[in-house]
Amino acid sequence: MMKDNKYCNLDKLITMLDGDMPSVKEMVEEFLDTIPAYFEDSVSAYEAGDLIKLKSVIHKLKGSIGLIANEQIAAEIVTLHASVGTDKDKINTGMERLKQWFPVLCDELKSEMNAL
């Protein structure tokens, strides 16, 4: 279930940084500056059928998303990573889901930045 009907959940990041909100804000800014490029790379690799690159890029997404997303989304990216090269149907489903929720997650994080 999504916390407050949101994909983002900064609780893990806040806990990891011992409630240091300036550091939380800095990490979210870093996420927004770098991770969307990995998302674009994952979509390109998927569309090109490059499973080696897709696995590598999803691995990069997995750690960062795990810190700022709700449990459902964090689990989805872990499942997607595990399925690359092993289960074509799960890859297809996972990538379609990623393309749906990733932009929403980024928009939610931008809104959260205003509250930090």
Could you tell me if 83 and 91 are in contact, meaning their C-beta atoms sit under 8 angstroms apart? yes
Q: What pLDDT is stored for residue 114 in this prediction?
A: 85
Q: What distance in Å separates the CA atoms of residue 7 and residue 102, rounded to the nearest whole number? A: 9
pTM of the model: 0.89
Tokens 């149907």 belong to 89
Range(s) of the domain holding residue 100:
3-14+21-115
Alpha helices in 69-87 (DSSP H): 71-83
**CATH number assigned to the domain comprising residue 31:** 1.20.120
Do the Cβ atoms of 109 and 28 come closer than 8 Å?
yes
Confidence of residue 1 (pLDDT cuts 50, 70, 90): very low
Q: Is the pLDDT of residue 43 over 90?
A: yes
DSSP 10: -
**82 vs 62: CA distance, rounded Å:** 10
pLDDT of residue 2: 47
Predicted local distance difference test score (pLDDT) of residue 115: 82
CB 98 within 8 A of CB 76: yes
Other beta carbons less than 10 A from residue 9's beta carbon: 21
Structural domain count of the chain? 1
Q: Please tell me the predicted confidence (pLDDT) of residue 4.
A: 66
pLDDT for residue 72: 94
pLDDT range class, residue 5, cuts 50, 70, 90: confident
Least Cα distance to 32 among 76, 64, 72 occurs for 64
Mean pLDDT (the chain) is 93
